[in-house]
């Protein structure tokens, strides 16, 4: 405790209750301590209990005789110990029997004052020390538990987990993480007060579980809870029990928890690492509505290690040019024969340990961690240089489209960076096509529209990528200026399955015709798909029907064929 806090406390007179059925003992003890403390008295246990309950908020200590009428000292100690509010008040037992000390300690007594009272200084010292220890414990307890839930805070939870492991090293334990699905929406729709009620209800259910299963629990974040309990196999029953109790408490059957379990923890791993694994399992359910809990296993562990390795190696990959830009040709099919019109730049990673890594393995990771912005800039530079080399070699410019992520849109330097690249390489912005996914437009349509319009004014062409995979409104499409619409490849894959799939394709092409912009179809693999798209009025096709993505030197054969064609 800091010196300033102690000095402030020393200016406050504490209240002391002396409980003894003999008046002479009460008065004698009172005279000893009344110079420093305010004193009240009780002559039996029943009267004492009434005073304790009445003054529980202000009472600092109880000096308790053991042998009394009505309620004796032992029974009163039992009552105080079993009451959560009263148990914070320290009790010093007044006794002349040494044999009573052990039993009193077992019942929660803080100290003893032996009779007769012939050493006033010792008595005062014991009272001061007991009050100080109790007040320190209250301060520690206030930081140890979360106010709203009543569970441990994260810091103290981990300390108690380590202490439990020391005492019970051979007991198999499970680390469990809980999260409330869409909790931010619960707050927004029902108000923060209701959200607090849900948090408290979840905590109450966890306290019930740990009392039955011998464990401890904490609230470590807004709606994130951790639980450390003895190993069990039936987590379906546990989650159903918690959910049932939660719904009964708050009267809302639409509140759901997701749960990740790291079973039979490896105790050689640090406590935080064990719960990182449980959290990893829990968060893997973030987009799942059919599964409520999952078990952390070795496959998940390897996937997590692999992901962290890729994230950690990203900077070195850029610095050492391990990332390779491949090019997939895009053909205009509006004439009698398909004609090479442009290419899309696609990234591959030639990782020194894992070999060629598919972008599906690292792009989502980089998007989540914000690293995709750095990778995009790398690709943009590589593409600009390659376009210049092809122009110098073949005398023509092959337009290339590059991906612009939603993170890139928020970069205030985006416009100047792209303009600098095309100018530095002697290119025209018109030939440097920017692909932006449809879902990015729905995040912040106002800022997106402003940024897109600036880039178009600079001469860049804008393709809306993966159209049909997001949630664009027709109103937004009408106010958004783009230069091409690129259909999501999932629609291409389904177009031959039934008439409905083809009708969806035709509908999107009709929207593009209404907006007076060309349609690009990616993922085209078969002659049937090609024929149907051409008949429907698609303008440009990209996919394995013509070629898979290839390195720049292989792409040159498409350029040479186009030159011969003309």
Do 361 and 239 fall within a single domain?
A: no
C-alpha dist (Å) from residue 131 to 76, 117, 200: 19, 19, 32
Is the predicted pLDDT of residue 417 greater than 90, yes or no? yes
Do 118 and 164 fall within a single domain?
A: no
Do 137 and 249 fall within a single domain?
A: no
Q: What is the pLDDT of residues 96-128, one digit of tens each?
A: 777 787 788 888 888 888 888 878 888 899 899
Contact 464, 485 (CB under 8 A): yes
Do 517 and 544 fall within a single domain?
A: yes
Mean pLDDT of 433-444: 74
Do 394 and 447 fall within a single domain?
A: yes
Do 179 and 288 fall within a single domain?
A: yes
| pLDDT band of 438, cuts 50, 70, 90 | low
Q: What is the pLDDT of residues 274-331, one digit of tens each?
A: 999 999 888 887 655 555 788 888 788 788 889 889 999 999 999 999 999 999 999 9
Q: What is the pLDDT of residues 473-509, one digit of tens each?
A: 455 566 667 899 888 788 787 787 777 878 888 988 9
pLDDT score at 476: 59
The 8 Å CB, 24+ separation contacts for 542-549 are 542/328, 542/329, 542/330, 542/331, 542/344, 543/328, 543/489, 543/492, 546/329, 546/331, 546/338, 547/328, 547/329, 548/328, 549/326, 549/327, 549/328, 549/344, 549/346, 549/348
Print burial letters for 155-179: b (CB count within 10 Å at least 16), e (below 16): ebbbebbeebbeeeeeeebbbbbbb
Do 292 and 160 fall within a single domain?
A: yes
pLDDT score at 329: 97
Rama region for 543: left / alpha / beta (φ>0; ψ in -120 to 50; rest): left
The CATH code of the domain that includes 89 is: 3.40.50.2300
pLDDT score at 227: 94
Asked if the structure places residue 514 within a domain, the reply is yes
Asked if the structure places residue 499 within a domain, the reply is yes
Other Cβ atoms within 10 Å of 436 Cβ, number: 24
Is the predicted pLDDT of residue 2 greater than 70, yes or no? no
Asked if the structure places residue 149 within a domain, the reply is no
DSSP codes joined into one string, 77-126? HHHHHH-TTGGGS-EEEEES-TTHHHHHHHTT--EEEESS---HHHHHHH
d(CA 205, CA 58): 32
d(CA 114, CA 66): 12
pLDDT score at 551: 97
For residue 14, the 8-state DSSP code is P
Asked if the structure places residue 301 within a domain, the reply is no
d(CA 328, CA 549): 4
Contact 343, 330 (CB under 8 A): yes
The CATH code of the domain that includes 202 is: 3.30.70.270
Asked if the structure places residue 302 within a domain, the reply is no
Q: What is the pLDDT of residues 260-289, one digit of tens each?
A: 999 999 999 999 999 999 998 888 876 555
Beta strand 111-114 pairing with 173-180: unpaired
Point out the domain boundary residue: 144, 168, 192. Answer: 144
Point out the domain boundary residue: 235, 263, 296. Answer: 296
Do 548 and 423 fall within a single domain?
A: yes
Do 287 and 321 fall within a single domain?
A: no
Is the predicted pLDDT of residue 141 greater than 70, yes or no? no
Name which of 83-87, 124-128, 234-238, 262-266 the model is least confident about.
83-87
Output phi, psi for 358, to 5 deg.
Answer: -70, 145
| Selection from 87-96, 242-251, 517-526 with the highest mean pLDDT | 517-526
d(CA 392, CA 428): 14
Mean pLDDT of 1-13: 49
Residues in the chain: 566
Which residue segment(s) compose the domain that 380 sits in? 307-565
Closest Cα to residue 310, out of 193, 97, 318, 232?
A: 318
The CATH code of the domain that includes 541 is: 3.20.20.450
Point out the domain boundary residue: 100, 119, 144. Answer: 144
Do 178 and 316 fall within a single domain?
A: no
Is the predicted pLDDT of residue 544 greater than 60, yes or no? yes
Output phi, psi for 22, to 5 deg.
Answer: -100, 120
Asked if the structure places residue 554 within a domain, the reply is yes
Contact 151, 206 (CB under 8 A): yes
- DSSP alpha helix (H) spans, 395-539: 406-409, 414-424, 438-443, 445-457, 474-479, 489-494, 499-515, 527-536
d(CA 204, CA 244): 12
Mean pLDDT of 356-365: 91
Is the predicted pLDDT of residue 130 greater than 50, yes or no? yes
Closest Cα to residue 438, out of 546, 329, 512, 548?
A: 512
Mean pLDDT of 80-102: 83
pLDDT score at 446: 74
d(CA 340, CA 333): 9
Stretch (H or E) spanning 334: none
- Cα 480 off chain centre by: 34
Closest Cα to residue 520, out of 326, 334, 327, 396?
A: 334
Asked if the structure places residue 347 within a domain, the reply is yes
Is the predicted pLDDT of residue 387 greater than 90, yes or no? yes
Question: How many structural domains is the chain composed of?
Answer: 3
Do 273 and 219 fall within a single domain?
A: yes
Residues with Cβ within 8 Å of 307's Cβ and at least 6 positions away in sequence, in order, are 365
pLDDT score at 142: 60
Do 315 and 282 fall within a single domain?
A: no
Mean pLDDT of 446-460: 88
């Amino acid at each position: 405790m800091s010196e300033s806090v102690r000095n402030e406390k020393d200016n406050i007179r504490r209240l002391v209750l002396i409980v003894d059925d003999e008046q002479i003992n009460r008065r004698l003890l009172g005279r000893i301590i009344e110079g420093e403390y305010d004193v009240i008295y009780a002559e039996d246990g029943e009267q004492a209990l009434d005073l304790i309950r009445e003054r529980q908020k202000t009472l600092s200590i109880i000096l308790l005789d053991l042998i009394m009428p009505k309620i004796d000292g032992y029974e009163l100690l039992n009552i105080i110990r079993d009451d959560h509010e009263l148990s914070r008040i320290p009790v010093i037992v007044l006794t002349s029997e040494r044999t009573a000390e052990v039993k009193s300690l077992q019942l929660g007594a803080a100290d003893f004052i032996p009779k007769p009272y012939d050493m006033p200084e010792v008595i005062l010292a014991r009272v001061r020390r007991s009050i100080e220890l109790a007040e320190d414990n209250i301060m520690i307890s206030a930081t140890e538990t979360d106010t709203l839930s009543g569970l441990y805070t994260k810091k103290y939870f981990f300390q108690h987990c380590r202490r439990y492991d020391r005492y019970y090293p051979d007991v198999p334990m499970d680390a469990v993480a809980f999260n409330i699905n869409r909790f931010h929406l619960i707050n927004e729709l029902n108000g923060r007060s209701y959200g607090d009620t849900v948090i408290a209800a979840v905590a109450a259910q966890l306290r019930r579980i740990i009392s039955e299963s011998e464990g401890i629990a904490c609230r470590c974040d807004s709606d994130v809870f951790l639980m450390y309990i003895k190993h069990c196999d039936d987590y379906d029953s546990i989650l159903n029990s918690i959910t049932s109790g939660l719904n009964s408490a708050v009267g809302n059957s639409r509140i759901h928890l997701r749960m990740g379990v790291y079973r039979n923890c490896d105790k050689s791993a640090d406590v935080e690492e064990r719960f990182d694994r449980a959290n990893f399992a829990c968060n893997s359910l973030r987009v799942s509505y059919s599964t409520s809990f999952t078990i952390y296993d070795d496959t998940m562990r390897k996937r997590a290690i692999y992901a962290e390795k890729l994230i950690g190696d990203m900077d070195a990959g850029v610095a050492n040019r391990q990332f390779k830009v491949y090019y997939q040709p895009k053909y205009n099919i509006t004439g009698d024969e398909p004609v090479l019109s442009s290419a899309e730049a696609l990234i591959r990673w030639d990782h020194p340990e894992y070999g060629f890594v598919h972008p599906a393995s690292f792009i989502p990771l980089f998007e989540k961690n914000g690293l995709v912005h750095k990778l995009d800039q790398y690709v943009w530079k590589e593409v600009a240089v390659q376009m210049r080399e092809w122009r110098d070699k073949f005398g023509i410019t092959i337009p290339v489209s590059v991906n612009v992520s939603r993170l890139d849109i928020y970069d205030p330097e985006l416009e100047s960076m792209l303009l600098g690249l095309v100018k530095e390489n002697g290119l025209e912005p018109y030939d440097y096509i920017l692909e932006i996914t449809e879902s990015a437009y729905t995040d912040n349509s106002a800022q997106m529209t402003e940024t897109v319009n600036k880039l178009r004014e600079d001469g860049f062409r804008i393709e809306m990528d993966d159209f049909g995979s997001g949630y664009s409104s027709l109103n937004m499409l009408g106010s958004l200026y783009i230069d091409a619409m690129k259909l999501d490849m999932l629609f291409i894959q389904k177009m031959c399955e039934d008439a409905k799939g083809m009708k969806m394709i035709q509908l999107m092409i009709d929207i593009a015709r209404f907006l007076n912009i060309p349609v690009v179809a990616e993922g085209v693999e078969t002659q049937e798909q090609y024929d149907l798209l051409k008949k429907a009025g698609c303008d440009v096709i990209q996919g394995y029907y013509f070629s898979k993505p290839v390195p720049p030197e292989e792409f040159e054969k498409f350029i040479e064929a186009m030159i011969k064609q003309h």
